[in-house]
Amino acid sequence: MKALQWQGVNKLAVGQVPDPEIRNAGDVIVKVNRTVTCGSDLHLLGGYIPFMERGDVLGPEFVGEVIEVGSDVRRHRVGDRVVVSSFIACGRCWFCEQQLYSLCDNGNTNPAITETLWGHAPGGCFGYSHAMGGNPGSHAEYVRVPFADVGAFTVPDTVTDERALFASDSASTGWMGADLGGVKPGDVVAVWGAGAVGQMAARAAVLLGADRVVVIDRYDNRLHQAEKHAGAEILNKALTVRGAQMHGQRYIPMLLDRMARGELVTEYLATHVLPLDDAPIAEGLDGGDESLRVLRDPEGNEFCLVQRGPGES
């Protein structure tokens, strides 16, 4: 069959690969009707995700027709039109029982790779490197779907392929963002980024009852889509996130000048003074309910505990 293959960093080609076959009794084979590019494809194309191999088939999102079923499959039969979750989950492990399917213990057939890299093994994913199971993706004519009774969903007759396709990942990811954010009726929600997932997050927030949903982006065409289809307010403004360890040499002279003029007052930040002998106690207080920091005075005899806001370092 034909498939889109990764051939190296920034190199893609359509080539011939073997047709998929049933490997396990819970598998189905799906003929792909529609597949869509994903932002995650760019991570693979740019070489940012390790353990790609030349010839790997890309594509995590797809909808199609079941053409073959394994002997243990109960929810699907040949001819069903299904949309398939981009993440592969068994439905039986502890994570799946908690509906944390992307953390499935059994969906990734190469868990040692991610356990070594990240300290834990997430579930498997279609078309997303051998670190995530090496499962051939959906930019192809056919796909093998493991655990099909868990990860493939019959599409209602009234829903087109083009609409159902995005339930595979984009709409699910956006809705999950709103869900994890705890969006509820009466909320005011801001969504930075009006890509597919951002627009789906905005629409989810609207449907969950938020009073206002504002989508921020710098691309007018995306903002127009978010306004028209997600029902969100829009704001054309770029967001730049900048950070680093502090450049003290840049700021300290200026800060001292402002301190001398009385513009910047800091001594109120020191909330406690302890002798050096009590340093272990001071260290024990650090990070407690009052979120305290330990400093030593110039004489080396006392420690000042300086209160800071929650979450600051």
Instruction: Tell me the CATH number of domain 2-168, given options 3.30.450.20, 2.60.40.10, 3.90.180.10, 3.40.50.300.
Output: 3.90.180.10
Which of 100-109, 182-191, 243-252, 297-306 has the largest mean confidence?
Answer: 182-191
Token pair 């504002």: residue:
214
Per-residue pLDDT averaged across 259-278, rounded?
70
Whole-number pLDDT of residue 281 = 57
Q: What is the pLDDT of residues 53-107, one digit of tens each?
A: 999 999 999 999 999 999 999 999 999 999 999 999 999 999 999 999 999 999 9
Whether the per-residue pLDDT at 282 is higher than 60: the answer is: no
Distance of CA 188 to the CA centre of its chain: 22
Predicted confidence band at 285 (pLDDT cuts at 50, 70, 90)? low
Least confident of 142-151, 198-207, 274-283, 297-306: 297-306
- Adjacent-strand bridge partners of 3: 15, 140
Looking at per-residue pLDDT, the higher value among 286 and 177 belongs to 177
pLDDT band, very low/low/confident/very high, at 231 (cuts 50, 70, 90): very high
**What local confidence, expressed as pLDDT, does residue 299 receive?**
53
CATH of 173-236, one of 3.40.50.720, 3.30.1490.20, 3.30.70.380, 3.40.50.300: 3.40.50.720
Rounded Cα–Cα distance for residues 212 and 132 (Å) = 38
Percent of the chain with pLDDT over 90: 67
Would you list the domain boundaries of the chain? 2-168, 173-236, 248-307
pLDDT of residue 56: 96
Q: Is 260 left (phi over 0), alpha (psi -120 to 50) or beta?
A: alpha
Query: What mean pLDDT, rounded, does the chain reach?
Result: 87
Distance CA 130, CA 110 (A): 7
Global pTM reads 0.80
